[in-house]
Amino acid sequence: MGLKKVNSYDIYDTIIARTMLDPTTIFDLIEKKTQIIDFKNIRMKAQAQNGQTLDTIYDRFKIITGFSDKQIEDLKELEIQTEIENSYLILSVSNYIEKNDILVSDMYFNADQLGRILKALGFKKHNKIYSSAMGKSKADGSMYAYLLEQYQIIFHFGDNEHSDIKMAVENHIHGALIEVSKMNETEQFFYAKGNEKFAFQLRKFRHKNPYKLNTYDYHLYNDQVALNIPVLILLSKHLNDILIQENRDTVLFLTRDGCLIEHIFGTLYPAHKIVTFQSSRLMNLTYHDNEEYKAYVKKTYNHQTCLIFDLHGSFNTGRAMYMELFGHLPRVHLFIYDNYNKETFPGLSFNIDKRTQKNIDDTIELFNADTIGTLVDMKHGKFIRNKLEYNFNDVKIYRNTVLQFCAYMKEQRMEARKCPPVQLLVEFYTQNKQKPHLIGFLETHAPDKVDYNVYVVPFFLLALFAVFIFRLTKQKKKYMKVMKTLWKKYIYK
């Protein structure tokens, strides 16, 4: 019987992420909890002198400090608990580990301690764990040699280029580098701007990605977290500033571009009124004979209290309707103003002007695609829409990601005042949105349904014509010849 085929996974920074960049920050937290003077330095010194296992580290710590056995046991337990409190699972990896796969770590925690940590973080599988605490190491290759006596390892997944990749390959195992635990460009941007907590909150939510690593759905989720959600948060802060400055209390989020930001804005600013405002360029152009839609607009928009929001455009098509209905243009804010031939008006404000910033594209609209088609009519109190031009499942991932983030904001108590300042909005968008490798364009993957009704009348007429020919000729050979000609000419082609 051959060896069992498995994949092996590193644990820290592959399955588990910490809430900090430097692992030794754990020792700072313990020092703060215990008030032990210079704990961090002593703990690191003990590890440097005898760091194979947690037990050997604290044996050395005891020699250095003279602490009692009970104090040492309490410190070991506190370190494990502090690790648990400041770690979480990377779901796009941990969710897809098979039951026969093995977990391999070069940490000083032994297998039982690692198992405790994983279980406390919500890892419910019972995979076999191997730790360098047993005297074998990935770094020198001895762990791989030991494991290959028991398993046929197909892939080893990990974040360390030497221990997880180079040494795996040297032992004839395919090494797969996983760097998902590292900060991405968005997180680095906010971290560098002094918004460290916000950067780590984005990173933690990114690690909640439920889709398998590097799949199409995985990238759709990640793009929302890295590229769209920060924009929507900063935009929401700006809209709130406008409402306060102008003594307004209501935002009308135009369909369909406002479908996601209205949730972010509502989570950050629940005191304001939010309206999903049914609108489209087509309705703006064809409103003249639709008294019902004009009445809807007049009832919904109030010039003293409302602010209309759209992501991208110039509000060009809506100007004539509002002039007719109200005698003046409305108060509108756009994220990106995009019209080279149309002048702005006093009630129109925007964050980015495409007339001066030529490199801005329409990516923002794709990231905010709605799950409904464009509005084409209003009849009997109902809004009539075209079919959705995007793949519904793709757009649903965008929507669900934002809704999950809103729940996450409440869970993390991400208040607006703790989010980055509005001044970073344009800088972030122009630096991060224009990278050519980014995913964001949605395609309709499912083939269009064939409307067979369009063929009923032609085939009915053809059948009548066939009967006519048969009666006219009353000769089977001539009839078959005519039908064959018709088939080739009108149907088979």
Q: What is the pLDDT of residue 473?
A: 53
DSSP state of 47: H
* C-alpha dist (Å) from residue 177 to 335, 347, 392, 410: 38, 52, 32, 34
Whether residue 28 is predicted with pLDDT greater than 80 in this model: the reply is yes
How many other β-carbons are positioned within 10 Å of the β-carbon of residue 398?
A: 25
- Closest C-alpha among 309, 269, 273, 274 to residue 414: 269
Whether residue 335 is predicted with pLDDT greater than 60 in this model: the reply is yes
- Closest C-alpha among 16, 18, 20, 406 to residue 196: 20
Q: What is the pLDDT of residue 445?
A: 32
Question: Mean pLDDT across the stretch 250-254?
Answer: 98
Q: Out of 1.10.287, 3.40.50, 1.10.260, 3.30.70, select the CATH number for domain 4-185.
A: 3.40.50
CA distance 288 to 297: 13
Q: What is the pLDDT of residue 465?
A: 61
pLDDT in tens, 89-125: 999 999 999 999 999 999 999 999 999 999 999 999 9
Lowest mean pLDDT among 127-136, 278-287, 452-461, 467-476: 452-461
pLDDT in tens, 412-445: 998 888 899 999 999 999 887 545 334 333 343 3
Q: What is the pLDDT of residue 446?
A: 32
Whether residue 132 is predicted with pLDDT greater than 70 in this model: the reply is yes
Gyration radius of the chain over CA positions: 32
Q: What is the pLDDT of residue 449?
A: 35
Whether residue 171 is predicted with pLDDT greater than 90 in this model: the reply is yes
- Contact yes or no for 143/129 (Cβ under 8 A): no
Whether residue 477 is predicted with pLDDT greater than 90 in this model: the reply is no
Whether residue 457 is predicted with pLDDT greater than 60 in this model: the reply is no
Q: What is the pLDDT of residue 434?
A: 43
By CB atoms closer than 10 A (0-12, 13-18, 19+), residue 4 is exposed
* C-alpha dist (Å) from residue 113 to 39, 43, 222, 287, 383: 22, 18, 32, 68, 59
Residues in the chain: 493
- More confident site: 366 or 136: 136
- Contact yes or no for 10/157 (Cβ under 8 A): yes
Which alpha helices (H) appear in 377-455, and where do they start and end?
392-412, 425-432
Whether residue 400 is predicted with pLDDT greater than 80 in this model: the reply is yes
